[in-house]
Structure 1
Amino acid sequence: MRHARAADLPALVGMLADDPLGAQRESPDDLTPYERAFEQISGDPQQHLMVAEQGDPARTVGTLHLTVIPGLSRRGSSRALIEAVRVHGDERGDGLGTRLIAWAIEESRRQGCALVQLTSDATRIDAHRFYERLGFEASHLGFKMQL
């Protein structure tokens, strides 16, 4: 695991686009908006865009984005938000997703967070079972508004 570099963007966006939901909302042929977002992410110490590599030569096979959010609730506690968890299609079923989440939980503890949370699209039933197996509980009803 390491922090992402700009050179990782094609592989990261490719993984984000590699499922039915991502294929509808990502544009791997135009990295311009991802480059702008990466500049913002990499400049913010509360953002941890991570990649997992395997093999020799190293190949990007997984990613997640961890955000530490300071807050007033829970006696002024910070919380961590896990997003964009992806494992390359060739590497699924090997435990890499579990290792990615374990890293995020440990980093959240190291950062002093009181809790770690994530959301998962309602259609990703397999992902829900995965997160529950790792100890996450479905505790809230989420809402979104497209802008």
Structure 2
Amino acid sequence: MLKRCVAKDEDIEAVVQRMNGGASSQRVHLENGETDTYKPAFHAIQQCPNTDIYVGETDTGEAVATFQLNYVKGLAFNGKPRGQIESMHTRADMRGQGIGQEMLAHAVKLARDKGCCMVPLTSNKERSGAHRFYTSNGFVPTHEGFKLIF
């Protein structure tokens, strides 16, 4: 059984490792392994009322999975918010054990509990395994996404 909880200061290294371990070729050159560079953003997210970073921990307390959940206001769908999932990653050697499913189900439950009308997410086109995972869990590829990276 995986313990799912809001990430704490002591989780930042594991969160950064999971996130960067799944970085696409568009982003990988923009990241580094120095946890200290991520701390200001991590602490700002901890203070933000509409965003949380979650970790999935093993029985020994090891953080092996992560995702960020942003509650985004919108006018469509009668003004109901969305529960935008970002940076969902499971440690490579732990994939295929149901951890990702458990984390995804937790994200969806959190969004439903907040009254969200949907749970959108994006996944880089390079991550075909992630695409199979999301569609096998009921997500439908309805839009074509675009980004302008600086």
State the TM-score, normalized to the length of structure 2.
0.91
**1:132 is matched with which residue: 131, 135, 138?**
135
Could you give the per-residue CA deviations for residues 67-98 of structure 1, whole angstroms, max 9, x where no partner exists? 11112121111011001111112211100000
Q: What's the counterpart of residue 48 of structure 2?
A: 44
Matched, 1:35 2:39: yes
94 and 106 in structure 1: CA distance in 2 versus 1, 3 angstrom threshold: same
SS in 1 for 2:65: strand
State the TM-score, normalized to the length of structure 1.
0.93
Q: What's the counterpart of residue 87 of structure 1?
A: 90
Q: What's the counterpart of residue 29 of structure 2?
A: 24
Unaligned runs of 5+ in 2: none
Tell me which of the two structures has the higher relative contact order, counting C-alpha pairs closer than 8 angstroms and 6 or more residues apart.
2
Aligned residue type for 1:146: I
Query: Is the Cα contact below 8 Å between 1:53 and 1:59 reproduced in 2?
Result: yes
Alignment of 1:47-126 (within 5 A): 47-56=51-60, 58-126=61-129
Moved more, 32-41 or 109-118: 32-41
CA RMSD of aligned residues (A): 1.4
Q: Distance in 1 between matches of 2:22 and 2:115?
A: 34
Q: Distance in 2 between matches of 1:4 and 1:74?
A: 30
The alignment-based identity, stated in percent, is 32
Unaligned runs of 5+ in 1: none
Aligned residue type for 2:68: H
Could you give the per-residue CA deviations for residues 23-51 of structure 1, whole angstroms, max 9, x where no partner exists? 433211x2233101111110012112000
Query: Is the Cα contact below 8 Å between 1:53 and 1:62 reproduced in 2?
Result: yes
Moved more, 31-40 or 42-51: 31-40
Query: Is the Cα contact below 8 Å between 1:16 and 1:26 reproduced in 2?
Result: no
SS in 2 for 1:51: strand
Q: Distance in 2 between matches of 1:86 and 1:138?
A: 19
Q: Number of residues paired by the alignment?
A: 145
